[in-house]
């Protein structure tokens, strides 16, 4: 998990969105910059997640955790 100073650095350097992939619980959290702080936008275990920053980038959650 990102600690406070990492989140602040992300915001100061123009990061608008980041995702945290939790392999233990097989979830993906999407955080979006809202003003000067990041807010949890979604936490998904299934379905698909679409970037708010990279146009057209979408990934199915099951693809992230599928074994080769």
The number of angstroms, rounded, from the C-alpha of 2 to the middle of its chain's C-alpha atoms is 11
C-alpha closest to that of 30 among 12, 8, 9, 15: 15
Query: So what's the pLDDT on residue 68?
Result: 72
- Cα–Cα distance, 48 to 62 (Å, whole number): 8
Query: So what's the pLDDT on residue 67?
Result: 78
| Residue 8 scores a pLDDT above 90 | no
Query: So what's the pLDDT on residue 63?
Result: 95
* Per-residue pLDDT reduced to its tens digit, 12-56: 899 999 999 999 999 999 999 999 889 999 999 999 999 999 999
The number of angstroms, rounded, from the C-alpha of 68 to the middle of its chain's C-alpha atoms is 23
Asked if 3 and 38 touch (Cβ cutoff 8 Å), the reply is no
| Residue 1 scores a pLDDT above 70 | no
């Amino acid at each position: 998990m990102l600690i406070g100073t990492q989140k602040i650095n992300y915001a100061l350097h123009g990061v608008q969105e980041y995702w945290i992939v939790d392999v233990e619980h097989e979830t993906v959290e999407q955080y979006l910059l809202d003003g000067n702080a990041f807010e949890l936008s979604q936490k998904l275990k299934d379905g698909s997640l679409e970037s708010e920053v990279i146009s057209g980038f979408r990934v199915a959650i099951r693809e992230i955790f599928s074994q080769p």
